[in-house]
A and B are shown apart, each in its own frame.
With several copies, the nearest count.
Chain A
Amino acid sequence: SDLERQFQARIDAGEKIEPKDWMPEDYRATLIRQMGQHAHSEIVGTLPEGNWVTRAPTLERKAILLAKVQDEAGHGLYLYCAAETLGVTRDEITEMLLDGRMKYSSIFNYPSLNWADIGAIGWLVDGAAIMNQVPLQRTSYGPYSRAMVRICKEESFHQRQGYDAIRACAEGTDAQKKMAQDALNRFWYPSLMMFGPPDSDSVHSAQSMAWKIKINTNDELRQKFVDQTVPQAEYLGLTVPDENLKWNDETGQYDFSQPDWGEFFDVVKGNGPCNVDRLADRNKAWDDGAWVRDGMMAHARKKAAAKIAAE
């Protein structure tokens, strides 16, 4: 249709789409799905971190982790607000998370088992997330683009802090070194999975790239991540758990093993180590908190009514 052509032309010209602008229903739906998943990931992602907030090794590390968790809840808030500009309420998409209609990043279905995992999450998981997110600062939807600018700034801060935490372990006692290596062993492949399936198997991609909702392909980003991360691991004296990993002089990048995509689809289907517990934790939080939300709402209504009555 003409509207669609005009819409695509605006995107091609690098213009931002704003909430009141006309947009194709698929564009709206795809954005809601993507932003919702991103928001949910911020929220669910605080669970493996919360698992170590109460066991952080120093007051300083505990403070850093609390600040990070606070930021992530904030990111969730920006993104839910940005999604609301597309006509879906925060409660609606929250409920879609809770009943399994919407996903969150599968990486959070892996457990955090030792303190170095918190470092690994910052270093690898936030690192991979940033690689996915930096291009989204240029995404076509204005509110999303602006949210991503704020988020990316904080994420790269988190990544540096994560790297610093795992560095302290890698440079520490033998037990600490073992923690760091154990964390890398468990988080390496799941991090590679964060870029999604190989381009050859990826759905949704072409249209999303035309709409500038997605900017790079999965494989491009994965390669970039490996190329950035391997030297960092080497600097830490840690071994990437991939026997096939080696620098390729011809391509000027690393050759590496693909993750187990069978495992990836298992986790997506709900069979990851923590899927059930994560969703149960979020559902419990939501259900247990219903009286609080209701109470706050009721009080706000009373106050508003009293104000009107007084006028």
Chain B
Amino acid sequence: MTQQEALFQFLLRMGDNTLILGHRTSEWCGVAPVLEEDIALANTALDFIGQTQFWLGYAGEVEGKGQDADRLAFHRDAWDFRNLLLCEMPIGDFGQTIMRQFLFDAWHSIYIARLLKSSDPRVAEIAEKASKEVAYHLERSADTVVALGDGTEESHSRMQKALDYLYPYVGEMFLADDVDAAMVSAGIAPDPAALRDEYDALVQKVLDEATLTVPGNRFAQKGGKNGAMHTEHLGHLLCSMQWLQRVYPDGNW
């Protein structure tokens, strides 16, 4: 794997995370539990789509085959996606949606903070643009997790169920592979494995406040960030997300 290929993969990972999670979030359009959440979810989705444009735009440049962000978003099949499995899981109930958001935001905020000091100026620039949004996402999702975890008996039990369901998808964030090694040695991105303690501390603090119990089993589902084995959910997501582009490949929208 060349350095260029590794950088391309790294950028796909960043961009696919925000693309796929942004898509999931946008599925809430018009049906959130309360109007303020409709607004917040649309806003989060919007931020993620914006970040996707930057990451995949740069990915296309690095790849050098003339693919722009839209081409990468809408013309790859599931096996070429590099998002964390966590991002492609279904929205479930609102508890599952907001718990996933929190588990992702916590990692995203820590990771993006490291990218601010990336040796690649484009990466640092995108991270800079994203960092305020990411900090806001975390603040909001953490608050909501706390409110619902420490709300009623039902909201508590739904949040615990969401946490138990999603926790096996947390470990993948911290698995390091050749791509990560290449990014570390080039000073472009941090070693994912080195971020786990900081993540655990952050998550533990919020979940304590939310009166929720972090699952003991740390078994990690994997295969998203390297594309080896996505879940069955991603294929269905792409059916909708890429429909128009696949049916009308010559369209100019």
A interface list, Cβ under 8 A from B? 43-44, 46-51, 53-63, 66-67, 69-70, 73-74, 76-77, 80, 90, 111-115, 165, 168-169, 171-173, 175-176, 178, 182, 186, 266, 271, 273-274, 276-277, 281-282, 284-286, 288-300, 302
Contact = CB atoms under 8 A, between A and B. Distances in A.
Interface stretch (B115-123, B126-134, B240-248): B240-248
B154 interface: yes
13 contacts: A48-B232, A55-B239, A69-B42, A70-B42, A73-B42, A113-B229, A173-B252, A266-B219, A271-B168, A281-B30, A285-B32, A285-B33, A296-B148
Given A54-B26, A70-B39, A182-B79, A291 B158 contact: yes
A289 B52 CA distance: 29
Question: Which secondary structure dominates where chain A touches chain B?
Answer: helix
Interface string B28-59: 01111111111100110110011011001000
A22 to B, nearest CB: 30
B78 interface: yes
Contact of B46 (A51, A70, A271, A291): A70
B163 interface: no
A44 B38 CA distance: 12
A25 to B, nearest CB: 28
A50 B155 contact: no
B contact residues, range? 35 or more
A36 to B, nearest CB: 14
Given A186-B229, A292-B94, A50 B31 contact: yes
B147 A300 contact: yes
A114 B50 contact: no
Contacts of A289: 32-34, 37, 94
B147 A296 contact: yes
Contacts, number: 204
Nearest to B98: A292
A58 B253 contact: yes
A276 B243 CA distance: 26
B252 A172 contact: yes
B223 interface: yes
B137 interface: no
B23 interface: yes
The residue in A47, A112, A294 that gathers the most chain B C-beta atoms within 10 A of its C-beta is A294
Contacts of A114: 77-79, 235
Contacts of A266: 219
The residue in B27, B36, B223, B235 that gathers the most chain A C-beta atoms within 10 A of its C-beta is B235
A50 B154 contact: no
A284 B42 CA distance: 19
A70 B43 contact: yes
B125 interface: no
A302 B146 CA distance: 12
B30 A285 contact: yes
Contact of A50 (B29, B53, B95, B251): B29
